[in-house]
Amino acid sequence: MSGPLIHSTQQTDDAGAPAGLAGRHLLSAGDLSRADAVLILDTAEELARLADQPIKKLPTLRGRVVVNLFYEDSTRTRASFEIAAKKLSADVINVTAKSSSVSKGESLKDTALTLEAMGTDAVVVRHPASGAAHRLAHAGWISSSVINAGDRAHEHPTQALLDAFTMRRRLGNLDGRRVTIVGDILHSRVARSNILLLHTLGAEVTVVAPPTLLPAGISSWSCAVSYDLDAVLPKSDVIYTTRPKQEWQAAAYFPTLREYSRYYCLDIRRAELLPPHAIVMDCGPMNRGVQIAAEVADGPRSVIVAQVSNGVSIRMAVLYLLLGGSQPAFSATEEAAR
């Protein structure tokens, strides 16, 4: 007999865990290869099935410490990460910082050093500055895994993963599926992460927005651009609405909310233009009557509530794959983070 035989009881080889992985953070949806993304979605699928069983907690992350470091207000993302970590038996600490009281760079560094000194395994960070998660991961302050839970208008990778998961559960394979994202693309980290991930998974993304709410250089993104929602809807498998982020808008990007909603709100008439199988999604918080009509948000096509419950499964999968083993099971390389 030749060849190094490893003494082990493992039933299968390390499926989905290619050797020599370096990435231990999740900072950008664009860092994920197709194989990584599918591994996360498949893992979430198994975890979602477990949620139907009487099992309340899995012992997998017992003794690991996950810190939710939120510099911005959040309901669903923070609660979702907390529930996901607790379902895996991790200990969860919530740290909320008020960005108004301290200068951002100093505060993030000091907080990071404090957390490191206490011995954390993962930091889930939301921050009002684009790139904060990347800085936290690479400034040399901490050795924990860093998961980006939203950095200003840059990225929100777990939201994109749960959205892709929701689409896959409803529509099957995403290859060739047409996803239309309408609304404030300029300020939307969700739109950016979704465009990156959906492109990786083979879907065709079209963004629809007033020209003022499209980022400069959108033509170089892997998505199509339209200004006419009515024309795009009949060809859409998914319509994804995002909220105009009024709290971030010093200048007016559109004349009035009323005019905005006349052109870009998914109302009942527009929803009827969709093909019969199409689904309606929104990342929340919803401004009913602005980006989506209440009747559509609560209608039979809407999967908005499913998005929230799927979020827990996705975050469990990400925490398990990053922290569950001796090294992460997916290899997000961070050079693409921008």
Chain residues that interact with other proteins, rule: CB under 8 A? 1-17, 21, 39, 42-43, 46-47, 49-50, 53-55, 57-60, 88, 320-329
Buried/exposed 232-271: b ≥16 CB within 10 Å, e otherwise: bbeebbbbbbbbbbeeeeeeebbeeeeebbeebbbbeebb
The minimum distance between CB 144 and other proteins, in angstroms, equals: 16
What number of other Cβ atoms are within 10 A of residue 227's Cβ? Answer: 14
Sheet holding 204-208, edge to edge: 224-226, 204-208, 178-182, 238-241, 279-282
What residues pair up with 178 in beta bridges, in sequence order?
A: 204
In the complex with other proteins, the residue whose CB is nearer, 47 or 195, is 47
How far apart (Å, rounded) are the C-alpha atoms in residues 195 and 156? 11
CA nearest 182: which of 86, 271, 311, 277?
Answer: 271
The minimum distance between CB 15 and other proteins, in angstroms, equals: 4
The minimum distance between CB 90 and other proteins, in angstroms, equals: 13
The minimum distance between CB 308 and other proteins, in angstroms, equals: 22
Cα dihedral sign, 33-34-35-37: positive
In the complex with other proteins, the residue whose CB is nearer, 47 or 207, is 47
- Residue 163 near residue 281 (C-beta atoms within 8 A): yes
- CA distances to 159, 211, 227, 278 from 331, in Å: 19, 36, 37, 33
- Residue 163 near residue 170 (C-beta atoms within 8 A): no
Tokens of 25: 């953070």
CA nearest 28: which of 112, 149, 177, 172?
Answer: 149
The minimum distance between CB 222 and other proteins, in angstroms, equals: 27
Tokens of 41: 């979605």
In the complex with other proteins, the residue whose CB is nearer, 55 or 216, is 55
The minimum distance between CB 76 and other proteins, in angstroms, equals: 24
The minimum distance between CB 321 and other proteins, in angstroms, equals: 5
3-class SS at 21?
Answer: coil
In the complex with other proteins, the residue whose CB is nearer, 43 or 200, is 43
In the complex with other proteins, the residue whose CB is nearer, 53 or 220, is 53
In the complex with other proteins, the residue whose CB is nearer, 47 or 205, is 47
The packing angle between helices 34-50 and 189-200, to 10°, is 100
The minimum distance between CB 48 and other proteins, in angstroms, equals: 11
In the complex with other proteins, the residue whose CB is nearer, 147 or 186, is 147
In the complex with other proteins, the residue whose CB is nearer, 59 or 176, is 59
How far apart (Å, rounded) are the C-alpha atoms in residues 49 and 179? 26
